[in-house]
Amino acid sequence: MEFRQVRYFLEIVDRGSFQRAADSLGLTQPALSSQIALLEREFGESLLERGPRVVKLTYKGEIFRTYAERMREVWRECEEGMKSFEKEIRGNFSISAGGTVSAWILPMIIKKIRKDHPDLSLSVMEGDAGETKELMIGGKVDIGILTGKTMETNLISHEFLSDMIIPVAAKNHSIFNKKKNSIGDLKKESFIVFHPASAVRRAVEQTLRSLKLDFKPHIAMELRSVESVIKSVEAGLGIGFISKYSLNENLKQIQIPELFTERKFYICYRKNPRPSLVLLAKEILNSVSNL
C-alpha cells in the first residue's frame, strides 16, 4: 500500500465520485480507478460500492476510512514537523474557551497573532469548562483554555491568565445608596447567576461556602451566557458575579472584598502536538502579557 492510494481513497470519499475526485487530483478516471483496484486487491476486500451517480463505502470501507483519516493526520503532522525549522505558524487551528475568554480576551490576541502570521487560520468554539475539556480530550479542538490546572495526564497545561470575579450591579442600583456595603446588604437582594456547570458559578459558590455565611442568595435568574448575565444585571434585575474583564460603564463593582474570587486560566493541548501548535501556544502566552 502506498500513501498516495490512501489519499486517493479519501478524496473519492470526500468528493462522492471517481470523476470528481480525479478532476480534483489532476488524474484521469481510469488511472484513479486502477490505483483503488490495487488497494482493494492488497486487502482482498471491496472498499467502495460504485453506483451510477455516487460512490458509497462498504462495511470494510468504513473501517479503512477510520485508519486512512488517521494516516492523513499523521502525514500532515509530518509535513509541519519537517517545516518547523522555519519557525512560522501556519495552518488551521481551533480553540475552545469559556464566554469571558472568548468575548473579552481572545479577540485581541487573535487579531495580533494573525497580523504577525497571515497564513494562520483560527476558529473559536465557546463552551463551559466541562465542554472545553471534553473537546480537548476527544481531539475535537487543538487548544483549550480552562479554569484551573487540569489533572488529565494526556494534556499539557501552562498558566495563561489571572482573573478576578467580582460582585456587580447596575450603576443606578439602590445598593449604592450606602457609602459602604457589607454582606448583610445582600440578604434581601436578588441574584443573576450562571448555570451550575459554569466555572464562575462554581468559584463563587466555593467562596461563599468558605465564608460560612448565614444567608443563601435568592436566585432570580439562572443563565448560560456571559452576555445574558450582563444584560440582566444592567437592566437592574439583580446582582451578578462577573469577570473584571467584562466590567463596563453600565455596571458598578460592589466593594465587598471578601466576595472577590481569584481564578487562573490555563492554556492546554494534547501531548505530542504538532510543532506549529506548540509555537501557537507560546505566541498566545506571550500576547496575553500585553493585554
pLDDT value of position 237: 96
Q: Both 147 and 279 in a single domain?
A: yes
Residues with Cβ within 8 Å of residue 144, at least 6 apart in sequence? 95, 96, 97, 132, 133, 135, 136, 155, 267, 268, 269
Tens digit of pLDDT for each residue in 168-212? 999 999 999 998 999 889 888 999 999 988 889 989 999 988 988
C-alpha distances in angstroms, 272 versus 77, 150, 158? 10, 17, 15
Mean pLDDT of the chain: 88
Written as one letter, the residue type at 224 is R
Q: Both 167 and 130 in a single domain?
A: no
Tens digit of pLDDT for each residue in 232-283? 999 999 999 999 999 999 999 999 999 999 999 999 998 888 778 888 999 9
Q: Both 113 and 131 in a single domain?
A: yes
Measured distance CA(218)–CA(188) in Å, rounded: 8
Q: Would you say 239 and 175 are in contact if contact means Cβ atoms under 8 Å apart?
A: yes
Quick check: 86 pLDDT over 60? no
pLDDT value of position 245: 93
- Could you list the residue range(s) of the whole structural domain that residue 112 is in? 88-161+265-288
Tens digit of pLDDT for each residue in 7-40? 899 999 988 888 888 888 889 989 988 999 998 9
Locate 40 and state its grid cell: 482493494
Per the structure, how many domains does the chain have?
Answer: 3
Q: Both 222 and 279 in a single domain?
A: no
Residues with Cβ within 8 Å of residue 178, at least 6 apart in sequence? 185
pLDDT value of position 52: 74
